[in-house]
Structure 1
Amino acid sequence: MPRWEYLTTPLMIHNTAAILNNWGSDGWELVQVVNGPEGGLVAYLKRPIVETN
């Protein structure tokens, strides 16, 4: 079973695609976007943890 690491990041409404593409190029997958506690958007992302033995 894969293990995951998670990340949350604020999204600037005028630059969402660039922000998400940047994280995606590092292997992060978008899980959800929600309204943050201060009214902005927050993205939740995940990626598998690479096991090095």
Structure 2
Amino acid sequence: MTGIDLQKSQNYNEPGLTLHESVFLEILVTEFRKVSEFLNSKEFSVPGHIAL
């Protein structure tokens, strides 16, 4: 890793997190949003639940 790459990776990090932790959190948030959108969509229904 060059000094420039190291500097870029350090700038990317959330405060107090390593690059690996930052990327993990970004993936986690992306997947959480997908699940939230699915649960809020009309395609998902809970048996016995009446849609309003």
TM-score range, shorter chain: under 0.3
Q: TM-score normalised to the size of structure 1?
A: 0.27
Q: Which of structures 1 and 2 has the larger relative contact order (alpha carbons within 8 angstroms, sep 6+)? A: 1
Between Structure 1 and Structure 2, the one with more helix by share is 2
